[in-house]
Amino acid sequence: MPDVPLRPNILLINCDDLGYGDLGCYGSTANRTPNLDRMAAEGMRLTDFTMASPVCSPSRGAMMTGCYPRRIGFATFEGRWVLFPGQCVGLNPAEKTVAAVLREQGYATMIVGKWHCGDQPEFLPTRHGFDHYFGIPYSNDMGRQAGHRAEYPPLPLLRDETVAQEQPDQAALTERYVDECVRFLRANRSQPFFLYLAHMHVHLPLYAAERFMKQSGNGRYGACVEAVDWAAGVLFHELRQLGLDRRTVVIFTSDNGSRGDNGGSNGPLRGRKGTTWEGGQRVPCIVRWPGRVPAGAVCREVTTSMDFLPTFAALAGTRPPTDRIIDGKDIRPLLFGEPNAASPHDALYYYFKDQLDAVRSGRWKLHVRKGDQDVRELYDLEADIGETANLYDRNPDVVTRLEGLLQRCREDIGDSAAGMEGANCRPIGRVENPDTLTHYDPDHPYMYALYDLDQVG
């Protein structure tokens, strides 16, 4: 491994529901993404990067902890796919996030944007290693919205643990988020920092600033993608202005695949958000670090968002927690373009809620469950990225090996379809007497008493 200075700054940009085919550097012709395309040209584009879930709360919990959602109790949330306002469950305070690991190494830490790992005080980012927080703690469709969710409490915009505004103008939020990020960069230019920008885009409802609405060639969706690209451009410009460009690792990705029905695209992948086909969990991932990550590189090895925690820990000169199982791996050899570097994963597992649906090992992916039905489908993802040609009957030895991996996973973290709990699962966080962060007040002078777009997702 090359001589790499420890404790680089780390900027993690995570989108919401952005699909594999939504960026120019991943094949999009519908959306203009010049800044992100330049990021890929100056860094590394990962082609086989997978989130640990096809929906947001379990995906984000896994990315923060380096663990499969089921291992940390994040498979379901009182039976629901994701967390909703005022639930009594969230990320257990005993879990250690990547922010907590880095803060112990002297990093300044901040999250701007969507958290979605619990909205009770015990579950907020400031209780999980982040010095500061500014953003909406869950999805942007979980406020008061005409036609769908007028009964919801007002959408809260938090600063640290205090509600700064209720029902904010969503079309202005991306600019406000970028302003917070720039302030953080300037305030912490002299010390190592971890900044996590978690966009609300491109989750429904699709609100974007007028500028992007006018210039988009792909409707509201394209406007939101272009707003994300603009934000990246601002942050890269600021890093250069502060002299931090070569001291900062920037990672860009998405929490799960696109819905695919509102202007988004998963490119050649089968499936969509909420499914364990590749379109639900394989997402764009770009890594840029001038002088360390080779420019214009493409990594085709299997990687996952759970790798962030051990990789960032190693960059900061420390190790991931040793008192618990961490599923992610240190992927620095891949990112640095070392000769013959290979994926450290012998298998990656795909869960639908608490049900084990599929496993990938190398080029092969075996599906054994879809909904409430058993299936037997084997795909060669190197030859057939779209999962179109079922090779199950032609490769009995591969099937046997992958079924053995699935059984190993069931014994480790369980599978509801097989009636197995798993031996190494940790509990979700839980509090008594939960409450929502806001309550509707008919006399409050809201900017938007009801959001007008008839979109939820």
Residues carrying an active site annotation:
56, 116
**For 433-456, b where at least 16 C-beta lie within 10 A, e where not — what string?**
ebebbbebeeeeebebeebebebe
Two tokens at 448?
């938007």
Separation of alpha carbons 435 and 51, rounded Å: 30
- Strand, coil or helix: what is 365? strand
DSSP 112-128: EE---S--SGGGSGGGT
C-alpha 20 chain-centroid distance? 13
Query: Partners of 360 in the beta sheet?
Result: 348, 365
Separation of alpha carbons 94 and 132, rounded Å: 19
Q: CA-CA distances (angstroms) from residue 194 to 122, 261, 334?
A: 21, 34, 21
Longest dimension (CA), the chain: 68
Contacts of 364 (CB under 8 A, 6+ apart): 378, 379, 380, 381, 395, 398, 402
Two tokens at 368?
């054994």
Type and span of the H or E element at 12: strand 9-15
Beta pairing class for 348-352 and 355-361: antiparallel
Q: Where would I find the H helices in 66-187?
A: 98-103, 173-187
Select from 181, 205, 177 the least CA-distant residue to 193.
181
DSSP state for residue 77 in the 8-state scheme: B
Two tokens at 12?
């993690």
Select from 316, 251, 248 the least CA-distant residue to 9.
248
Query: Partners of 380 in the beta sheet?
Result: 364
- Contact assessment for residue 317 and residue 102, using Cβ atoms and an 8 Å cutoff: no
Select from 200, 120, 194 the least CA-distant residue to 161.
120
- Contact assessment for residue 304 and residue 40, using Cβ atoms and an 8 Å cutoff: no
Query: Partners of 15 in the beta sheet?
Result: 254
386: left (phi over 0), alpha (psi -120 to 50) or beta: alpha
